[in-house]
């Protein structure tokens, strides 16, 4: 079986530019990840803070550290500024591109590229179509159950492409043209004053019973619970998944990367992973329901049938 990769997905939250730069510097120097995804995927208004000042510096630091750098595109394109950013990302020649919106496919069609979670590849026909256009790598949507992942892995093996699955972090559930983060603070999207920066891991959204249920990140709706597929990773490897994604949060992502790397290398157990995550202060309980065809926020116990 080919060696599996550990990846660090794009940082979806709006952090201060220097904090974001230092985060990626530390990932470059200390984290045992094989691939790092850079680029703003949520809101084009955020791009000047980091991309214009630190993006290339960070990319070079990661590259020198032996990490493969991939540039991710915006996940939603609604205005001219968005289209320009996507076009600029896709037409640069130095780094591979992960397309997260159909608008990016126009630019990358016919050249090797990756397909991100936001493009929602749910079946073999969609994968075959995109692979014929040059897609070589697919990061699957987090809500897919084990049976669907396995079917896509079989097709991926036929097509000679790679499957990636997110195994840690809050998962994206929806995108909106409006900014809920701004609206929650009685602001408009155009005059948001970047209030999303106040919530480095997203803003909790509670039910009427005051139970945390979702998390808001600008235009993006996220799960409140973090996904944790440590107990499912061996099964995913057996299916043929070739890359395992960690989604960055404000927790110690270097330590988290080391934990999952040890699990991939069979140097620790999933029980030890869960204990280590709890010791790091990762919000508990976590979730794996989607994988088991259960409500996504549920945590199905180890050893239960898929």
What domains can you pick out in the chain, each with its CATH number?
Answer: 5-171+224-292 (3.20.20.70)
Mean pLDDT of 191-196: 92
Mean pLDDT of 240-249: 98
* Angle at alpha carbon of residue 48, lines to 83 and 90, rounded to 5°: 35
pTM exceeding 0.85? yes
* Angle at alpha carbon of residue 200, lines to 199 and 204, rounded to 5°: 45
Mean pLDDT of 268-291: 94
What share of the chain has pLDDT > 70, as a percent? 98
Cβ neighbours for 280, distance < 8 A, ≥ 6 positions apart: 251, 252, 255, 256
pLDDT at 306: 42
What share of the chain has pLDDT > 90, as a percent? 91
pLDDT at 301: 82
Q: List, for residues 144-175, the tens digit of each pLDDT value.
A: 999 999 999 999 999 999 999 999 999 999 99
pLDDT at 302: 60
Q: List, for residues 37-86, the tens digit of each pLDDT value.
A: 999 999 999 999 998 889 999 999 999 999 999 999 999 999 999 999 99
User: Over the range 158-179, which residues count as b (16 or more CB within 10 Å of their CB) and which as e?
Assistant: ebebbbbbbbbbbbbeebeeeb
Q: List, for residues 82-98, the tens digit of each pLDDT value.
A: 999 999 999 998 999 99
142 contacts 290 by C-beta, under 8 angstroms: yes
């Amino acid at each position: 079986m080919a060696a599996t990769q550990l990846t660090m997905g794009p940082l979806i939250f709006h952090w201060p530019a220097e904090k974001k730069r230092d985060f990626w510097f530390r990932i470059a120097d200390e984290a045992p990840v094989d691939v790092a995804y850079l680029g703003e995927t949520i809101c084009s208004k955020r791009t000047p803070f980091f991309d214009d000042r630190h993006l290339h510096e960070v990319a070079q630091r990661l590259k020198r550290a032996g990490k493969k750098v991939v540039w991710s595109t915006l996940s939603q394109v609604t205005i001219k500024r968005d289209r320009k950013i996507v076009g600029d990302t896709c037409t640069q020649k130095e780094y591979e591109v992960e397309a997260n919106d159909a608008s990016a496919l126009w630019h990358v069609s016919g050249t090797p590229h990756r397909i991100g979670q936001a493009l929602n590849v749910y079946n073999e026909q969609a994968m075959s179509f995109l692979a014929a256009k040059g897609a070589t790598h697919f990061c699957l949507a987090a809500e897919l159950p084990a049976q669907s992942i396995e079917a896509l892995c079989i097709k991926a093996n036929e097509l000679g492409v790679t499957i990636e699955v997110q195994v840690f972090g809050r998962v994206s559930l929806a995108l909106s043209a409006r900014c809920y983060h701004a609206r929650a603070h009685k602001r408009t999207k155009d005059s948001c004053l970047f209030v999303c920066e106040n919530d480095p891991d997203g803003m909790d959204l509670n039910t009427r019973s005051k139970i945390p249920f979702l998390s808001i990140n600008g235009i993006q709706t996220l799960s409140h619970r973090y996904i944790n597929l440590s107990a499912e990773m061996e099964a995913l490897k057996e299916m043929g998944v070739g890359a395992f994604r960690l989604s960055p949060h404000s927790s110690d992502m270097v330590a988290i990367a080391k934990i999952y790397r040890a699990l991939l290398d069979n140097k620790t157990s999933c029980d030890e992973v869960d204990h280590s995550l709890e010791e790091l202060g990762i919000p508990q309980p976590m979730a794996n329901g989607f994988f088991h065809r259960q409500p996504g926020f549920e945590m199905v116990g180890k050893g239960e049938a898929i």
